[in-house]
Amino acid sequence: MDQSLGSAAAPPLADTPYAPTHTLGDRLTEFRYRWWPDHLLGEILAKRWMETAIPVVVLIGVALALSSAIPNFLSASSLADTGRQAGEIGFIVLGMALVMIVGGIDLSVGSTFALTNFCALYFMHVLKWPVLGAVVATLLFGALLGAVNGVLIGYFRLRAFLTTLITLIIYRALYDLLTADYSTLIAAGFPDSKVWDFIGAGAWLGIPTVVFAYALVAIFGHIFLTRLRPGWHVIAIGGSRRSAYNTGIPVRRTVALCYVAGGVLTSVGGIFFASRLATAGGDIGVGLEVTVLTACVLGGISLGGGKGSVTKALMDTLIVLLIVNGQPRCRCTAATTAWCWRRSCSWPR
């Protein structure tokens, strides 16, 4: 048999080498990987200091945008008023941040703020107490209001959202009853105390008193969370309560004390507010929990607990306050403002 029939002859090789064709998509992909600095941007954004730098950049951008749209928005008097408001709200944000880091939430901060404001005004305007006694009594009252939430949530293990929602309603009802009986007496009596006036309207080197007080408390809060063992316990409990309990951390007591500290910080804001405006109106503190919660969430504080920073909370408090003060002057409607806050709270972290 002819062996040449058993196998076919191989085709001759081409004399020219194979040259692949590059499409437009291939060229764009090659250009992206060679020239587009996505890896560099990724490395920069992965740095820990970027978590603080981004809120600072946003704050500067918001301030410049509002100053260009609103005349005299960044004037000395406007900045002083903004600093006073930021200090008062900032104390409440710090208290809420501590509660959220430990794994809870406090919806009663607005009502607590209103009650502590009334308490300070009642002691100073009606009972004519000295400033030191009125301040100490108001702080103790705020601690008591926070302890109610702390005991119910920390020791009785009730749901933080529902518990603080109920205390919000109870505290607000109590405030309405008290203002109905004593608002006239508060409005009629003004304390003759330079110290009390200095707390609310005083300034040093052109900077309001509340700004210095808030700066000191914020520095201590940063050191507490990053350098002290009780602060590490708070973060550990927020990350995993079961693991924290298994390692010997007093979970219930720590959670309760966080709510007490939140009540005290809210009462500090109420004291400065009472000294500055000396009013006990029915709308004080209404919706304040939304503003405070927005500042905390935008500041990177996790709703699940275990993560948060005082510095970012400070930056986002200023951002929220600038937007709140700037929107009415930019003729934004209330519906637009409410939509912005809802979108801010639901923004994925």
What pLDDT, in 10s, does the model give residues 25-72? 777 777 766 666 666 666 776 777 777 778 888 888 988 888 888 888
Rounded to an integer, the average pLDDT of 73-82 is 85
**H or E element: which one contains 204?**
strand 203-204
Give CA torsion, residues 169, 172, 176, 178, to 10 deg.
120
The predicted pLDDT at position 1 comes to 44
The predicted pLDDT at position 59 comes to 86
> Of all residues in the chain, what percent carry a pLDDT higher than 70?
84
Domains and CATH numbers, the chain: 84-326 (1.10.3470)
DSSP 299-320: TT--TTSS---HHHHHHHHHHH
DSSP 49: T
Rounded to an integer, the average pLDDT of 157-170 is 96
The predicted pLDDT at position 28 comes to 75
The predicted pLDDT at position 297 comes to 87
Report whether pLDDT(123) > 70.
Answer: yes
Greater confidence, 341 or 102?
A: 102
| Range with top average pLDDT, 2-6, 213-217, 276-280 | 213-217
203-204/207-208 β-pairing: antiparallel
Interior/surface letters 327-338, b for 16+ CB within 10 angstroms, e for the rest? beeeeeeeeeee
In whole angstroms, what separates CA 5 from the centre of its chain?
Answer: 86
Greater confidence, 310 or 31?
A: 310
Rounded to an integer, the average pLDDT of 93-109 is 96
CA atoms of 110 and 104, how far apart (whole Å): 16
Report whether pLDDT(284) > 80.
Answer: yes
The predicted pLDDT at position 49 comes to 72
Rounded to an integer, the average pLDDT of 214-243 is 95
CA atoms of 149 and 254, how far apart (whole Å): 13
What does pTM read for this prediction?
0.83
